[in-house]
Every structure is written in structure tokens, then in C-alpha cells.
Amino acid sequence: MDELLREWFDRNGRDLPWRGTRDPYAILVSEIMLQQTQVERVIPRWRAWLERWPTAAALAAATSGEVILAWQGLGYNRRALALHRAAQAIVTNGWPDDLTKLPGVGPYTAAAIRNQAFGEPVLPIDTNVARIQERTGHAFGPDSLQALFDLGATVCLARVPRCDVCPLAAACPSRGRRYEPLRKQSRFEGSFRQRRALTLRLVADAPRQLGELDSEAVAALSRDGLVEEEAGLVRLPV
């Protein structure tokens, strides 16, 4: 199955910019951005980020406020601070043998960096990879990682897989099956997440008096290190 999948990928693989590099910092940035943001939104932001901060040292030298401001629009802003702290740790101590020691890097992200940047024979298991392996009953090798990403994103879809165009369909025991809808993410509209996002956007535009803002959202953002308050003035951290 691996060979069939890689042959399909050679013809149909997506042209993603981070696939053209082995730079572990560049791949770290892509993986943190991709954790909770769609690929199409990440592509231009990844390019802009690396143009501004092309190395871990460049990012480490930035202020937290600059990093938060550059992250606006990607969502889940704590990822920006984690990436910033990871860059600072890399500059101070180098890349650790255990990548999960870096802020914001869990087992999956660590495995993705090890595979894509360092060429280690590990297969990171995200929802797409797990779904394909479960449906096919096949344990794919690390060299099939990028092909698995693309098959899961474009063909072996969560609810209605496109078995008619799948390169693995002939040998797949799940061919033709349909699946129950996945649990929907909680609504953003009207949620506290939206209140946080709006408040951070206002502060990112310019420092604001606390009385002008959602105080509960400010308190939550402050706990996460995303804003600072001093003498009633709320601003991005410096």
C-alpha cells in the first residue's frame, strides 16, 4: 500500500511551501501554525513570518507584543507565545533531544519535526493518518507521511470518503462505507473565545483603558500572558 500511495502522491501531492525545506525552525513554525488552523490560511502567514523572523534567533529577539500582533488572525493566540518561548529555548540551549521539552511541542508535533526536519524514521499520527490506517488496516511507514496527509485531506475524508478516486480502494476493507458526522466544535459566535479574540484585537490596535474593555476577557488574556495591565491601561506585553 505504501508504494501505491506514494505513486499517487507523486502525481497529486499538494504544493506546500514547508515541504521544500529541512530547516527545523521553519518546520516548527509550520507545525505550530497548523495545529488548529487550516492549511490555506497558514500558507501566506508562514511565508510572512519567516520573511520577518527567518531564524529562531530572530524570533527570540522579538518582543512578546510583536509576536502576538503578527499572529493576529490565526486564532488560539497562546500558540504564538509558545512558539516565541520555544525559539528562546532553542537559542539558549540548542535543539533538545526530546523535542517535547520545547514549549508548545507535544508528542505529535515532536514526531512531525523529527520526520520532516531530521529525517528520522518516525510516523506522526494525527487524525488523518489514524483514520487512513484504521480504515485500511495497514501500518504505513514514515516515508509515506506527506502522502498520508494529502490523502486524508483530499480523498479519505472523515464522513464521506472519495473511494472512487482513492489509490488504495482496491485493497481497502472499508471501501464504500459512510460515517457518522463528527462532533461539531462549540460555536465561536457569542462564545467567550470570541470575547477574548475581540478584546485582544482591540488591545493589539492600541493600548486601552480597562474600563473600555470586557474585564473578564482581559483577566483571562492576562493569565495567559497575552496582555498586561498597569494603572488601568491594558496593552500587549513588551
pLDDT tens readout for residues 4-35: 999 999 999 999 999 999 999 999 999 999 99
The whole-model pTM stands at 0.89
Q: What is the pLDDT of residue 183?
A: 64
Q: Which CATH class is domain 23-116?
A: mainly alpha
Q: Which of 31, 216, 228, 230 is catalytic?
A: 31
Q: What is the pLDDT of residue 185?
A: 61
Q: Is pLDDT at 184 greater than 70 in this prediction?
A: no
Q: What is the pLDDT of residue 161?
A: 93
Closest by Cα among 81, 79, 99 to 90: 99
228 has catalytic annotation: no
| Candidates 1.10.1670.10, 3.30.450.20, 1.10.1240.10, 1.20.120.10; CATH matching 1-11+125-183 | 1.10.1670.10
Q: What is the pLDDT of residue 11?
A: 96
What's the 3-state SS for the chain? CHHHHHHHHHHHCCCCHHHHCCCHHHHHHHHHHHCCCCHHHHHHHHHHHHHHCCCHHHHHCCCHHHHHHHHCCCCCCHHHHHHHHHHHHHHHHCCCCCHHHCCCCCHHHHHHHHHHCCCCCCCCCCHHHHHHHHHHCCCCCHHHHHHHHHHHHHCCCCCCCCHHHCCCHHHCCCCCCCCCCCCCCCCCCCCHHHHHHHHHHHHHHCCEEHHHCCHHHHHHHHHCCCCEEECCEEECCC
CA distances from 94 to 76, 89, 232 (A): 26, 7, 39
Per-domain residue ranges for the chain? Answer: 1-11+125-183, 23-116, 192-235
Reported confidence tier of residue 238, pLDDT bands at 50, 70, 90: confident
pLDDT tens readout for residues 120-175: 999 999 999 999 999 999 999 999 999 999 999 999 999 899 999 999 999 999 99
Q: Is pLDDT at 186 greater than 70 in this prediction?
A: no
Q: What is the pLDDT of residue 178?
A: 83
Please, what is the average pLDDT of the chain? 94
pLDDT tens readout for residues 49-74: 999 999 999 999 999 999 999 999 99
Q: Cα torsion for 219, 220, 223, 228, to the nearest 10°? A: -50
Q: Is pLDDT at 222 greater than 90 in this prediction?
A: yes
What value does the mean pLDDT take over residues 230-236? 93
CA distances from 173 to 28, 177, 206, 237 (A): 35, 9, 57, 54
State what percent of residues in the chain have pLDDT above 70: 97
CA distances from 168 to 145, 164, 180 (A): 15, 10, 22
Residue positions counted in the chain = 238
